[in-house]
Amino acid sequence: MRTICRNSLGATIQPIRPARSNLLNKQHTTSSNKPGKVALVAGDGRSIGAATATLLATRGASVVVNYLKNSATASKVIAQIHANGGQALAVQANIRDQQQAEALVQAALAAYGGMNRVYE
């Protein structure tokens, strides 16, 4: 039985399945030539999104933080990750808009060569 959820705007959300796309399963190579993980975190760099991005970075993932309007908050998260030796990038995009969502994924691919996880 499939679980259907609704987000805060009332839109239907399908459960996330493991990605089968080569784009999402590629591993990138860090500066030390070790395979790494890349995570895209949507959530404006606030509260849960900020905590998720920071935690993933401390566990060795390169993180792409998506924000809609508040670049200052996203920049603080990125600065904190960089200060702790992690890799991170902030990208503005409205993930409800298909073209902007695709541009967000392309920015992650351009920066890190792949993506392993997406968190909303």
CATH architecture of the domain with range 21-119: 3-Layer(aba) Sandwich (3.40)
DSSP helix/strand/coil, 106: helix
Adjacent-strand bridge partners of 6: 12
Domain boundaries, the chain: 21-119
Contacts of residue 55, defined as CB under 8 A and 6 or more positions apart, other chains included, come to none
| Residues 73-105: tens digit of each pLDDT | 999 999 999 999 999 999 999 999 999 999 999
Verdict on whether the full-model pTM lies above 0.75? no
